[in-house]
Amino acid sequence: MSNQSTYWDSVAEKKEFTHPFNFANFEIIAPKKANILDYGCGYGRIMNELYTAGYQHLVGLDFSTQLIARGQRLFPYIGKLV
C-alpha cells in the first residue's frame, strides 16, 4: 500500500481522471438525499459532479493525502474529503 500512496502522491497535481461517470444510471438508484461514499475518490472529480447535480451528503476517501489536498483546494464546498 505504501508504494501506491507514494505513486499517487507523486502524480496528484497533474493526474487527470477522464473515465466517464454514468450519471443517468446512478440517479435511478440513488436519491438526492442519499448518503454517498466515494471510496478511492482521488481529487473528488465525481463528487463534484454529484454535488453540482444536487447531492449534498458526500464523503470521499482516498489513501493519497496529496490527491485529497488537491480536491480540498479545487472543491472546498464538497462535504468531506479524507
pLDDT in tens, 16-66: 999 999 999 999 999 999 999 999 999 999 999 999 999 999 999 999 999
Domain coordinates in residue numbering, the chain:
2-13+31-81
For the entire predicted model, the pTM comes to: 0.86
Sorting pLDDT into bands at 50, 70 and 90, what band is 2? low
Q: In the prediction, which pLDDT does 82 show?
A: 75
The fourth-level CATH superfamily of domain 2-13+31-81 is Vaccinia Virus protein VP39 (3.40.50.150)
Region at 53 (left for phi over 0; alpha for psi -120 to 50; beta for the rest): alpha
pLDDT band per the 50, 70, 90 thresholds, residue 80: confident
